[in-house]
Every structure is written in C-alpha cells, then in structure tokens.
Chain A
Amino acid sequence: GAGVSQSPRYKVAKRGQDVALRCDPISGHVSLFWYQQALGQGPEFLTYFQNEAQLDKSGLPSDRFFAERPEGSVSTLKIQRTQQEDSAVYLCASSSTGLSNTEAFFGQGTRLTVV
C-alpha cells in the first residue's frame, strides 16, 4: 500500500493478556517510530528504529513493552500483561530519513482498550 498500515485497528484485551500490534511502514522508509496517545493528550514517543536497529527506546513506559523490527521493515509492538493504564491509541510513523527536515507519515493507529 501507499501509506503506513497498522493492525489491528481496534483491540480489546483483558487485564493481564499479552497483545501484539503490527506496523507496516512505507516501503523503503528507513526510520520507524512508535507513539502512544492517551485520551485528551498529544502523542508521546515510545521508541525509534533506524532500519532494524532500535536506536532509542527511552519512551517505553515499562519492561512490559517491547518493540522489534527484525528485517528493517515491519515492526511489532508487544505489550505483556496488559494493565488498564495501557489503554491508548498506539501510532506508528515512518520517515524516509531523519526528522530534521523530513515529515513523518503516520498510520491510523491501533486503539487498545484494556478491560
């Protein structure tokens, strides 16, 4: 596809369940980002990949959060033992290069609800 694709669009998880969120970036885009957006707030940075290398994971809120991009294209954000505070929209974005002069292209997000 032409844009960034995320799946699933919606996920309801029971507290304690593990979830995996998928991001297909634009083909050829080197940079990939994950953001978390809680209700009423702006997106908050989680982690950044350059190709398959995870260069920054400073935004991951706990060790229950794990992201990978093993072949430098598709990325998966995994949340183990989900908690209610994990309920949010998870946005993925990709960029052809860095962000100092290039826009990021976002997917539609995955809305996670933990019950």
Chain B
Amino acid sequence: ILNVEQSPQSLHVQEGDSTNFTCSFPSSNFYALHWYRWETAKSPEALFVMTLNGDEKKKGRISATLNTKEGYSYLYIKGSQPEDSATYLCAPNNAGNMLTFGGGTRLMVKP
C-alpha cells in the first residue's frame, strides 16, 4: 500500500488569495501523478496527468509542478474564486493501472 500524503487537510481562504497544496508520494516505480478536483455532489474531475520530472502544467488559474525524484507535487491556485471550493485529490500511479489517492485537501473560498 502506497503512502500518499496531502497537506493541508483543509484550507479556508478569501476570494482573491492565492494558495497551494502539497502531495507527497513514493518515488519508486513512478508512472504518473494525477490531480483531480471533486466538487460536492459532482464527479471527480481530472485536472492534470503529469509524467515527467520537472513537469509543469497549467489550466487557467490552476497550475501544478512535479518532482519525481523526491516524490512531491504542488498544486497552485492563483486568485482563488468561490467556484474553486472543492476537494483536491492527488493520486500517483505507481503500479501500472491503479491510482492510490491521498486524503485530499478541502479548499473553501469565502466571497
């Protein structure tokens, strides 16, 4: 069983604040690192699939970086908006076809 840790567990920010979360995972047998956003009453939605050490990906105000050698990824949100409120899940793929999810970071953005 992989040990995937996300921090912080929860985060309250004001609208307009920028924020970031951390995902740490075992660096051995690494295939890919997935980030998902899960809004209440909806399906988890993929944000990024990252495979290469040093990868940086961006989608609008959200970006992510990946360090496979030390086993961590950062997710950044610039200028948070209330619609960014969700649980953000990271999941490394270290075993071919299985994602091991962290506990998630629950973000709440206050207007």
**Cβ contact within 8 Å between B43 and A103:** no
* Interface residue total, chain B, C-beta cutoff 8 A: 26
**Cβ contact within 8 Å between B101 and A48:** no
B99: interface (CB < 8 Å): yes
**Cβ contact within 8 Å between B96 and A98:** yes
Smallest Cβ distance from B3 to chain A, in angstroms? Answer: 12
**Cβ contact within 8 Å between A99 and B46:** no
Smallest Cβ distance from B48 to chain A, in angstroms? Answer: 8
- The prevalent SS among residues of B at the interface is loop
**Cβ contact within 8 Å between A42 and B49:** no
Smallest Cβ distance from B31 to chain A, in angstroms? Answer: 4
Can you report 17 A-B residue pairs in the complex whose CB atoms are below 8 A from each other?
A: A3-B43, A42-B89, A42-B101, A42-B103, A44-B101, A56-B97, A93-B44, A98-B97, A99-B32, A99-B96, A99-B97, A103-B34, A103-B46, A103-B49, A104-B46, A105-B43, A107-B43
The total number of A-B Cβ pairs within 8 Å is 67
Q: How far is the CA of A99 from the CA of B93 in the complex (A)?
A: 7
Among candidates A44, A48, A91, residue contacting B44 with C-beta atoms closer than 8 Å: A91
A90: interface (CB < 8 Å): no
**Cβ contact within 8 Å between B104 and A100:** no
**What residues of B have a CB within 8 angstroms of the CB of A101 in the complex?**
32, 49, 51
**What residues of A have a CB within 8 angstroms of the CB of B96 in the complex?**
98-100
